[in-house]
Amino acid sequence: MRRIVSGPLTGLLASSLAFCALPSTVLAATPSTALPTLSTISAAATYPDAVLVGPEEAPDDGGDDIVVIDDDEMDGDEPVVEGGDSPPEDDGDIFGDDSDTEPDDGGERTAGQAPGKLDPESERQQIEAEMGLISVVQRQRMLKKKRFEIAPQLGLTINDPYVRHYTFGADLNYWLTNRMALGLTATGLLGALTPRYDNIRFQQGLLLTANKTLWQANVNFTYNPFYGKIAIFNRALLHWELATTIGAGATQTQVIPRYKALHDPFNTITGGGVLGFVARTYMPNIDWISYQAGVRVWAYPDKLEPLGRGPDTDPGGRDDIALDDASAAKDASDFQLAFNVTVFLGVSFFFPTSFEYTTPR
Amino acid sequence: MTTRKLITICAFLAGAVAMPSIAKAAKPGPLVGEPIVRKKLQLRKFRFQITPYIGMSLSQPFVHMGYAGARIGTHFADWVGVRAGFGYGVVALDSRLLRAIDDGGLPVGVAPGENDTSVPNGPQCPAGPPCRELAESANPAPLLHDFQAGLTRAQWQGSLDAVFTPFSGKLGLFSSLFTEYDIYIFGGLGLMGWNKHYKDVESTSEQLGVPTDPADPNFCAVDGSGQNSECLLHPVKADDGVKVGGSFGAGVNVFLSDWVALNLEVQDIVTSNNLAGLNATFDDIPPVVERADSNAFHNVTMQLGARFYIPFRAKRTK
């Protein structure tokens, strides 16, 4: 989208736009050919005390400057250089904080040497204000504010060596800001005994007491403090984010009877808390899909099969025949703290499917 | 007129066909093939790396082990290198399962010289290893001392790996704290050293000093009393020694400066071994502990260390 802006704030806007374009220009530039305007601003971004006046400065003809704002330039991935086929000079690293960066010497003048310019104090304040717009990683790839996110997920539990769960579910989040979201998570789990369980049964003659989890559901709050870019073999860039989630909800578990031929399982619905970390990355040029990988740790009180539930229920036997009944066994069991650690992969779909940048950085 | 129209249409079509190739030829700009980041710090290339670390096993069912060790390595390019690592177990913690087994999960048996009190007028256990109580004769579990005699723990681990570091970048927190980091994967040859967990505990056959080879005519035979049933039914052979397997994993370095980074890594060394040193198959009569009783086991450890880079200064790309 293009629009024409004119007026006395043109200089500030031009500078701000250049700051926005900084990652893209730096990322895609070749050092041998320079577009002086942009390189001058790039230098100013690195050196706060630099004066933003260069050879390509628009002549002060007494009228309004005209600046063409191309929103695509603000994306940071596809640099567009108008008015020439030479890319801007790159003197810094991808985040523009390279202290080795040298300014392009386009001729430095002070306000006193350039009649009609702002006084030095005003110019310094303007530069400081512009510097405030510079972040470590400029122009986030995806804005999520006021968007819904639906994320189907597949996962695996990793903390129980005797029962492995394969998980499937989905996150539904509403992003209040670009950093914070409220959401729901629902997960179904398919539990299976591992070879380690059978190994212990055969070798030690022991039957382990274990539960499997049937489903988990929770409400959660997501905070997304980390974001950045990552270079892949220095040939491609990925944007990524890392969020932490905290929530509370319900879990249903089922005991795995030690003597399956004799006893029925019983189920327990219990409450619990969940803490998670989710990393996500985005595809270039697609504003409504992201890929995520994460880990969740559930903590909840759970009921295990009581030890007195067994086959030796004859008179004088060590097992309690009353516990053959599933509900009686459940009543006889005490809650114990249990954990469920799940790693998962997912795909996020965002609605609305597009967004617009509302700030210049 | 018609001819002119046809020529015009043909020319247009020819132009349309030729256009993409022309456009294609003109499209590549000066940025094609250029690196995505210029003046990039080469934090790994041609730098030696020394990483002292502490680690913890994540997947051991019987004995959790805390390791202290170090890795050394170098990178031929910023994205590929080699390394060697070694960690020795300095802290051994019994798992909850092992504590349950030791605290009554397995029958202890009757001590030598004691009477079997599990049945009225039970016999006296002769000198030698503990005897199984008659009330436990149908229990398929081994006696506790036989289990302990065969139990092993992962005492040390080592590996020789190729390291790939495809991902590197800068990490920003609240737009104020930022640092370099990289994410790497590795794979190679792994070594695991297994020791007996209960060094002083001997199995029934070891205490009796009887042959454990079924082909031996005196297999599990005790002078004057025939074959010992514990030796016969619950053979024990601790699977200790060095095991060779595959090593793989992933990690992340968060650079605190150009020459030191915080290192977090998960490593899995897959070996084939028999943790308890007991028979686990049904097709061998009498039961013996053999290669088929071993299975693939993932020795997963999480390691936290500090990685030092030499030389201390990193070069930059053009």
Instruction: Classify the C-alpha dihedral A197-A198-A202-A208 as positive or negative.
Output: positive
Give the relative orientation of helices A36-46 and A10-28 as an angle to the nearest 10 degrees. 90
Task: Show residues of chain B in contact with A33, CB under 8 Å.
Answer: 30
Beta-sheet pairing, B226-227 with B241-255: unpaired
| pLDDT range class, residue B137, cuts 50, 70, 90 | confident
pLDDT of B237 higher than 60: yes
Q: Do A30 and B34 touch (CB under 8 A)?
A: yes
Whole-angstrom CA distances from B261 to B105, B198, B250, B312 are 46, 39, 15, 12
DSSP string, A276-326: EEEEEEE-TT-SSEEEEEEEEEEEEEEEPPPTT-SS--STT-SS-GGGGSH
Exposed / middle / buried, residue A243 (Cβ in 10 Å: 0-12, 13-18, 19+): buried
Most confident of A44-48, A69-73, B189-193, B289-293: B189-193
Q: Do A94 and B176 touch (CB under 8 A)?
A: no
**Nearest one of A339, A134, A239, A125 to B176, comparing CA atoms:** A134
What is the rounded CA–CA span in Å between residue A78 and residue A93?
17
Element (H, E) at A7: none
Q: Do A237 and B166 touch (CB under 8 A)?
A: no
Task: Show residues of chain A in contact with B171, CB under 8 Å.
Answer: 226, 228
Least confident window among A79-88, A192-201, B125-134, B170-179:
A79-88
pLDDT of A205 higher than 50: yes
Number of A/B CB contacts below 8 angstroms equals 120
pLDDT of B244 higher than 80: yes
CB nearest to B35's CB, from A161, A208, A235: A235
Q: What is the mean pLDDT of chain B?
A: 86
CA distance from start to end of chain B? 62
Q: What is the mean pLDDT of chain A?
A: 71
Least confident window among A77-81, A212-216, B94-98:
A77-81
Whole-angstrom CA distances from B6 to A163, B13, B91, B197 are 76, 10, 89, 92
Can you list the positions of beta strands (E) in chain B?
Answer: 41-42, 48-57, 63-77, 80-94, 152-173, 177-196, 221-222, 226-227, 241-255, 260-273, 295-310, 315-316
Least confident window among A81-95, A127-141, A262-276, B227-241:
A81-95
In B, minimum Cα distance to A90 occurs at B38
Contact B19, B296 (CB under 8 A): no
pLDDT of A34 higher than 50: no
Contact A87, A78 (CB under 8 A): no
| Domain range annotation of chain A | 2-74, 148-351
Exposed / middle / buried, residue B251 (Cβ in 10 Å: 0-12, 13-18, 19+): buried
Can you list the positions of beta strands (E) in chain A?
Answer: 2-6, 66-70, 148-157, 163-175, 180-193, 210-232, 236-256, 267-282, 289-303, 335-351
pLDDT digits (tens, 9 = 90+) for B261-301: 999 999 999 999 999 999 888 788 888 888 888 888 889 99
pLDDT of B153 higher than 50: yes
| pLDDT range class, residue B172, cuts 50, 70, 90 | low
What is the rounded CA–CA span in Å between residue A43 and residue A46?
5
What is the rounded CA–CA span in Å between residue A230 and residue B182?
8
| pLDDT range class, residue A121, cuts 50, 70, 90 | confident
Task: Show residues of chain B in contact with A228, CB under 8 Å.
Answer: 169-172
Task: Show residues of chain A in contact with B38, CB under 8 Å.
Answer: 26, 29, 31, 90, 93
Contact A172, B214 (CB under 8 A): no
What is the rounded CA–CA span in Å between residue B203 and residue B231?
8
Whole-angstrom CA distances from A303 to A309, A338, B312, B315 are 14, 9, 56, 59
Query: What's the mean pLDDT in B19-48?
Result: 66
In A, minimum Cα distance to B59 occurs at A161
Whole-angstrom CA distances from B296 to A140, A199, B88, B266 are 45, 12, 21, 18
Length of chain A: 361
CB nearest to B147's CB, from A101, A204, A231: A204
Q: What is the dihedral of CA A161, A165, A170, A175, to 10 degrees?
A: -10
Cα distance from B140 to chain A (closest Cα, Å)?
Answer: 5
CB nearest to A206's CB, from B105, B168, B170: B105
Task: Show residues of chain A in contact with B78, CB under 8 Å.
Answer: 234
The better pLDDT of the pair A307, A33 is held by A307
Q: For residue A243, what pLDDT is reported?
A: 93
pLDDT of A281 higher than 70: yes
What is the rounded CA–CA span in Å between residue B138 and residue B119?
14
How is residue A136 written in tokens?
């470590």
DSSP string, B177-237: EEEEEEEEEEEEEEEEEEEESSTT---HHHHHT----TTSTTTTEETTTEE-HHHHHS-B-
In A, minimum Cα distance to B78 occurs at A233
Q: Could you tell me the pTM of the whole model?
A: 0.67
Domain A148-351 -> CATH class = mainly beta
Whole-angstrom CA distances from A346 to A7, A171, A197, A289, A293 are 47, 9, 29, 11, 6
- Residue with the two structure tokens 């502990």: B289
Query: What's the mean pLDDT in B105-126?
Result: 91
In A, minimum Cα distance to B318 occurs at A31
**Nearest one of B58, B61, B57, B62 to B90, comparing CA atoms:** B57
Contact A74, A360 (CB under 8 A): yes
Task: Show residues of chain B in contact with A92, CB under 8 Å.
Answer: 39
Q: Do B31 and A93 touch (CB under 8 A)?
A: no
How is residue B20 written in tokens?
């993409």
**Nearest one of A103, A111, A124, A108 to A60, comparing CA atoms:** A111
Task: Show residues of chain B in contact with A233, CB under 8 Å.
Answer: 79, 166
Q: What percent of chain A has pLDDT over 70?
A: 63
What is the rounded CA–CA span in Å between residue A225 and residue B82?
34
Q: Do B175 and A236 touch (CB under 8 A)?
A: no
Q: For residue A15, what pLDDT is reported?
A: 36
How is residue A194 written in tokens?
């591992």
pLDDT of A164 higher than 60: yes
Cα distance from A225 to chain B (closest Cα, Å)?
Answer: 6
pLDDT of A68 higher than 50: no
**Strand, helix or coil for residue B259:** coil
